[in-house]
């Protein structure tokens, strides 16, 4: 799509000359670089609870962020009003960071050719409200039909379409339309008067409603949530202490996100505050581990045609056969570290300063048969579903919370266990990976990553992996 066909040119009558003049204003007190990030975000969500469609919300937000970089300093301001006076005012406020004569903005823009990772058959605003309602009603029915012990179901469907325009003082211009849709289902089940148990499932990606009609149906997510709740009805207390842990494929890839991903974001490494700082070329994982962050996978939740600094996303090799290869770079850190951006500059919205972030982070498949992996464990824990996770990038300690796990006894899965946290240390944990399955899976598309108060959608993936030593935080000591 050309700039003149973009929403900002059509609806808000913004011209390339306007963009140049705003950028000149931003660099009026000096600085090496400035950019503008225009955003128009339309969202919609529908929720069912107790079989009643209780909530339906739509909204639009609009704004522009102006950034000026002078050395290591960043000035930032934004406006939710796209009138020229307000944008110029924001540009002048951002310019306060620099102290000097004006810098020159390159005249004329080169339009970046982005990927085309999420073509839309129908845009979200072309779909009827009734179609959305039908999805949550189907989820509600399917969860209740799964098992008579299911007694509460909540399901939500949410979608959004973000129009983004990035213009830089280097003369780069990019435009993108970013769809996102997600379903989630929560189920409570109970045996007689017993204790209720909870199950949760969800997914989606950079897709539209059609995805839930044709690919992953509401019934798929509803049955999965109900299945998890029913499994938990028979769960015993989780074990405590160090043991062998086998991670199932898919969402357990959150291990990589927490154990290595955050620690490889360039801002922490530039500042020397990450447990991975200065360790490029060192062995930080077993030779079985190759880890990639890839923003270019079609329709994935973490994918982007261009990052939020207007750079095309790419496939970035983080760990190759256990050796640390690279960091995730945005414009600021790559400038200061004298290297190139890896297309990893992301921000939550026009109100936020970009920083290096992950997109879709996964481990390449190995050669082991997943069943052989479980058979090889005399005593341990097999974890297939996780909640969230967190990492302290400086010490490298990370935690992730298993919500569905099974005891492994003599190479066989025996009892399901109750939820427990797992804890490890980033540069150490993956050294204990002793088997990697041939069954790489990406997650269903539900991840949200938080960093310094900014949330962005991400994906993860992993094959079945055996970790010889990890601390499991159950109660059965």
Partner 1 sequence: MTELEQLAAGAVQRALESGATDAECTISEGEEFSANVRMREVESLKEAGSRGAGIRVLVGQRAGSSYTSDLSPEGIEKMVAAALDLAKITSEDPHAGLPEREDLGSLAGDLQLYDGSVAGMDTEWKIAQARQAESAALAADPRIQNSEGASFDSQVGRRVFANSRGFVGSYLSSSCALSVVPVAQQNGSMERDYWHSIARSPARLESPEEVGRHAAERALRRLNPRKAATQKAAVIFEPRTARALLGDLFDAVNGSAIYRHASFLAGKLGEKIASDALTVIDDATIPGLFGTCPFDDEGVASRRTVVIEKGVLKSYLLNTYTARKLGLKTTGNASRGIAGNAGVGPGNFFIEPGARPPKEIIAGISNGLYVTELIGGSANTVTGDYSAGAAGLWIENGELTYPVSGITIAGNLKQMLLEIDQVGSDLEFRGSIAAPTILIREMTISGQ
Report the b/e string of 424-445 with b at 16+ CB within 10 A: bbbbebbbbbbbbbebbbbbbb
- How many residues make up the chain in this entry? 477
* Residues 173, 170: Cα–Cα separation, whole Å: 9
Nearest Cα residue to 225 out of 255, 197, 191, 194: 197
Six token digits for residue 208: 């539209």
- Please tell me what DSSP assigns to residue 236: B
Phi, psi of 344 (to 5 degrees): -115, 15
The distance of closest approach from Cβ of residue 60 to partner 1 in the complex, given in angstroms and rounded to an integer, is 5
Rank residues 99 and 321 by Cβ distance to partner 1 and give the closer one: 99
Rank residues 188 and 288 by Cβ distance to partner 1 and give the closer one: 188
The distance of closest approach from Cβ of residue 14 to partner 1 in the complex, given in angstroms and rounded to an integer, is 16
* Residues 243, 247: Cα–Cα separation, whole Å: 13
Rank residues 24 and 405 by Cβ distance to partner 1 and give the closer one: 405
Rank residues 197 and 341 by Cβ distance to partner 1 and give the closer one: 197
The distance of closest approach from Cβ of residue 450 to partner 1 in the complex, given in angstroms and rounded to an integer, is 12
Rank residues 204 and 263 by Cβ distance to partner 1 and give the closer one: 263
Residues 6+ apart with CB under 8 A from 214: none
Q: Phi/psi zone of residue 321: left (φ > 0), alpha (ψ -120 to 50 degrees), beta?
A: left
The distance of closest approach from Cβ of residue 116 to partner 1 in the complex, given in angstroms and rounded to an integer, is 29
Q: Are 82 and 38 in contact (CB under 8 A)?
A: yes
Neighbours of 346 (CB within 10 A): 27
The distance of closest approach from Cβ of residue 224 to partner 1 in the complex, given in angstroms and rounded to an integer, is 18
Rank residues 177 and 418 by Cβ distance to partner 1 and give the closer one: 418
The distance of closest approach from Cβ of residue 442 to partner 1 in the complex, given in angstroms and rounded to an integer, is 22
Q: Are 35 and 309 in contact (CB under 8 A)?
A: yes
The distance of closest approach from Cβ of residue 145 to partner 1 in the complex, given in angstroms and rounded to an integer, is 19
Rank residues 13 and 52 by Cβ distance to partner 1 and give the closer one: 52
Three-state SS letters, 448-473: EEEECCEEEEEEEEECCEEEEEEEEE
The distance of closest approach from Cβ of residue 76 to partner 1 in the complex, given in angstroms and rounded to an integer, is 4
E runs forming strands in 212-324: 240-247, 291-294, 315-320, 323-324
Six token digits for residue 45: 């969500």
- The DSSP result for 153-164, as a single string, is EEEEEEEEEEEE
The distance of closest approach from Cβ of residue 193 to partner 1 in the complex, given in angstroms and rounded to an integer, is 11
* Residues 438, 169: Cα–Cα separation, whole Å: 46
Rank residues 275 and 460 by Cβ distance to partner 1 and give the closer one: 275
What does each C-alpha distance from 135 to 46, 47, 294 come to in angstroms?
9, 10, 30
The distance of closest approach from Cβ of residue 112 to partner 1 in the complex, given in angstroms and rounded to an integer, is 25
Rank residues 290 and 385 by Cβ distance to partner 1 and give the closer one: 385
The distance of closest approach from Cβ of residue 268 to partner 1 in the complex, given in angstroms and rounded to an integer, is 8
Rank residues 73 and 412 by Cβ distance to partner 1 and give the closer one: 73
Residues 6+ apart with CB under 8 A from 463: 249, 363, 364, 365, 366, 370, 436, 437, 438, 439, 440, 441
Rank residues 389 and 459 by Cβ distance to partner 1 and give the closer one: 389
Terminal C-alpha separation, the chain: 60
Residue 465's Cβ-side half-sphere holds a number of Cα atoms within 13 Å equal to 32
Six token digits for residue 299: 């329709």
* Residues 399, 379: Cα–Cα separation, whole Å: 22
The distance of closest approach from Cβ of residue 229 to partner 1 in the complex, given in angstroms and rounded to an integer, is 9
Rank residues 254 and 297 by Cβ distance to partner 1 and give the closer one: 254
């Amino acid at each position: 799509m050309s700039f003149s066909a973009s929403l900002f040119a059509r609806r808000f009558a913004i011209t390339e000359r306007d963009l140049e003049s705003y950028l000149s204003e931003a660099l009026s007190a000096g600085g090496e670089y400035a950019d503008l990030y225009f955003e128009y975000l339309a969202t919609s969500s529908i929720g069912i609870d107790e079989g009643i469609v209780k909530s339906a919300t739509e909204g639009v937000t609009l704004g522009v962020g102006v950034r000026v970089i002078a050395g290591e300093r960043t000035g930032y301001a934004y406006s939710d009003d796209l009138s020229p006076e307000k944008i110029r005012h924001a540009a002048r406020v951002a310019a306060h960071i620099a102290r000097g004569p004006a810098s020159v903005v390159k005249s004329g823009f080169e339009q970046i050719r982005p990927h085309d990772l999420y073509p839309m058959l129908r845009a979200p605003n072309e779909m009827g409200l009734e179609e959305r309602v039908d999805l949550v009603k189907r989820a509600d029915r399917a969860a209740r039909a799964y098992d008579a012990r299911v007694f509460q179901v909540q399901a939500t469907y949410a979608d959004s379409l973000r129009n983004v325009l990035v213009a830089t003082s280097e003369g780069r211009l990019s435009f993108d339309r970013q769809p996102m849709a997600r379903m989630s289902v929560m189920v409570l089940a109970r045996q007689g008067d017993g204790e209720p148990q909870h199950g949760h499932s969800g997914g989606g990606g950079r897709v539209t409603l059609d995805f839930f009609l044709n690919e992953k149906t509401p019934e798929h997510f509803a049955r999965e949530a109900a299945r998890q709740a029913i499994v938990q009805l028979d769960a015993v207390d989780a074990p405590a202490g160090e043991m062998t842990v086998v991670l199932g494929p898919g969402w357990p890839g959150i291990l990589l996100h927490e154990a290595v991903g955050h620690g490889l974001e360039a801002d922490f490494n530039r500042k020397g505050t990450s447990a991975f700082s200065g360790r490029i070329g060192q062995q930080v994982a077993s030779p079985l581990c190759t880890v990639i962050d890839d923003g270019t996978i079609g329709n994935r939740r973490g994918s982007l045609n261009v990052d939020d600094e207007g750079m095309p996303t790419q496939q970035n090799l983080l760990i190759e056969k256990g050796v640390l290869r690279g960091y995730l770079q945005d414009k600021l850190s790559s400038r200061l570290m004298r290297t190139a951006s890896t297309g990893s500059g992301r921000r939550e919205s026009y109100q936020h300063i970009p920083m290096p972030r992950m997109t879709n982070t996964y481990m390449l498949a190995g050669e082991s048969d997943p069943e052989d992996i479980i058979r090889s464990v005399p005593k341990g824990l097999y974890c297939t579903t996780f909640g969230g996770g967190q990492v302290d990038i400086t010490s490298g300690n990370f935690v992730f919370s298993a919500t569905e796990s099974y005891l492994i006894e003599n190479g066989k899965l025996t009892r399901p266990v109750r939820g427990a946290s797992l804890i490890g240390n980033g540069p150490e944990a993956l050294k204990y990976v002793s088997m990697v399955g041939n069954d790489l899976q990406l997650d269903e598309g539900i991840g949200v990553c938080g960093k310094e108060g900014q949330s962005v959608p991400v994906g993860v993936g992993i094959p079945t992996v055996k970790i010889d030593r990890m601390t499991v935080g159950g109660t059965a000591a």
